[in-house]
A and B are shown apart, each in its own frame.
Chain A
Amino acid sequence: MTENNQSSTAASRISTYMLTIVLIILALSIVALLFAVSAFIVGDQVVAGYLLIIGFITMGLSAYLLLQSRKRVANLKIEAPKIMTTIECVKCGFKSIREFQRGDYVYKELDKCQKCDDKMTITAIYKEVKEKEKTYNV
């Protein structure tokens, strides 16, 4: 349990570290933009242009960093796929599909069929893959 706490504080430390950097860069970009505006008012258009470019680049950089750290957090999840169980009646062919329950296994006999009195059997347990795999046309 102690190790768990350690890891969670480490993760949050990383994110605050990232956040500080992002905030500093963001502040700098805003300062640059303000300078640009003041330079424009004074009439120094070349300087204003440079400051404008610097301001936008740094703003873009901070947005990129923020997105990057967001992505990293989103990556840290083990997705649990949906597992389906197919139940069939051998006698009348009645078939139903439901979600997997602990204790299910292929060729396990279950309760009586809804239509006839024969026992139903699990005939398949599988995972549905959501997204189609990318093909490369080769």
Chain B
Amino acid sequence: MAFVPSGDIISQIIYAASILLFVVFMLYGQRIQMYVMIREVEASLYKLKFIKEEGRKITIETIKEIGKPQTDPTPRVDRYLEYFTISPQSMDPAGIVYKLDHILDVRDTRLKDEVKIMAPASDEVQVNNLENTLEAAMALNFIYKVVRHYYIQGKKTLSLYVIMQLQMILPLVMKEAEAYASALKAFAYGQPIGDGAGPLVAAKLMHGYETRKLPKDCVVATVPIEGRTAFIIKAEGPGGNVGKPGDAVQAVIEENEGKIANVIMIDAGLKLEGEEVGEVAEGIGAAIGGPGVDQFKIEEALVKYHIPINAVIIKEDIGDAVSPMRKEISDSVDKVIERVKNVILERTKEGDKIIIVGVGNTIGIGQ
């Protein structure tokens, strides 16, 4: 086609159209881009809504099936999904850990009571599982609401930057939402999740030995390993429960008047993209997530008696951590025990007392 067309009517029309298109894109390009983004966000929002509704439905069905309530639990579940927790004021941070601890305790008690009212026929294990299920539903509800908020705000203001921010983080948000959705199913059925790697190792070490309860939902067993006496701590299973390893470790250290040679913590750790699931790594420090209360308590007790601390982690990504346990993670238990034994042999003497803590949610894992 010649650059300036002559004669042929069709090529003249096409030439005019292409110039028009060029002008339109120049003037409205950004706006068009924005509409494309809005559509993308909208599609994800629909998916989020679907996931959230599905989660709510599964939760209500599970409550009806396990709890055998007299009345329909739906309105109570809907109210539960809107629960919020206000974290303590941090302007003067001294003593904030115990304030946060208190708030979390109150929350836990309140939610458990609520579950008992919703599902009167459920036992202790099922109450824990239902509480976890409801918390996953709560998280999904919250994610949906926040995304919806920014979507509507973006549409209202038609600001590219509001929508762009949302569109940029959306893949990560969706990944998290999908992880919560599969967590919800696992909790509803009582299946072990990836985060249970720590308790699984502890359970394998303590299986067959007598256990006793420790403060806040933990159990401890005294097990001889390589000529040392090991106190093995995990949250009490098989209900969905992370316990309070901070209080448990403190209690065991105090019982032994600080005469502990080493503390070894086993936990699921976040893997980077490219690392293998179920890889085992070793390090120093209190390997425990959550709001930080337990880590603080453990570190305090360790500093008081100058006890060294080692950590062994099992690598997995956030999706694996909250969805049913993958085979690679389940299979890595023996590798972890091997590493723990190495640490014990290298870092302690025969006759020493050590503490081994399996950190994580023990759902579907007994002892």
Chain A residues proximal to chain B, CB less than 8 Å: 1, 3-4, 7, 10-11, 14, 46-47, 50, 72, 75-76, 78, 80-81, 83, 100, 102-108, 124-129, 136, 138
Contact = CB atoms under 8 A, between A and B. Distances in A.
Nearest to B125: A105
A3 B53 contact: yes
Contacts of B274: 136, 138
A99 to B, nearest CB: 11
B182 A78 contact: yes
A106 to B, nearest CB: 5
A130 B157 CA distance: 44
Given A83-B191, A106-B200, A127-B327, A7 B10 contact: no
B76 interface: no
Interface stretch (B113-121, B255-263, B359-367): B359-367
Interface residues of B, number: 37
A24 B51 CA distance: 32
B189 A108 contact: no
Given A50-B10, A107-B367, A102 B325 contact: no
Nearest to B49: A7
A76 B46 CA distance: 9
Contacts of B365: 105-107
B14 A128 contact: no
A135 to B, nearest CB: 9
A7 B190 contact: no
Given A78-B51, A107-B367, A127 B324 contact: yes
A107 B208 CA distance: 10
Nearest to B239: A105
A97 to B, nearest CB: 11
A104 B178 CA distance: 24
Question: Which 5 pairs from chain A and chain B are nearest by CB?
Answer: A105-B238, A107-B366, A127-B324, A126-B330, A126-B327
A108 B191 contact: no
Contacts of A83: 189, 191, 324
B306 interface: no
B83 interface: no
A128 B326 CA distance: 6
Contacts of A46: 8, 10
B237 interface: yes
Contact of B191 (A50, A72, A125): A125
21 contacts: A7-B49, A76-B46, A78-B181, A103-B190, A105-B190, A105-B237, A105-B365, A106-B192, A106-B364, A106-B365, A108-B238, A125-B191, A125-B192, A125-B324, A125-B330, A126-B324, A126-B329, A127-B191, A127-B326, A127-B327, A129-B327
A107 B329 contact: no
Given A100-B189, A104-B190, A107-B207, A126 B325 contact: yes
A12 B85 CA distance: 37
Interface string B331-367: 0000000000000000000000000000000001111
Given A80-B185, A127-B326, A47 B10 contact: yes
A67 to B, nearest CB: 14
A138 B326 CA distance: 24
A127 B51 CA distance: 21
Contacts of B145: none
A50 B49 CA distance: 45
Nearest to A123: B204
A131 to B, nearest CB: 13
Contacts of A76: 46-47, 50
B323 interface: yes
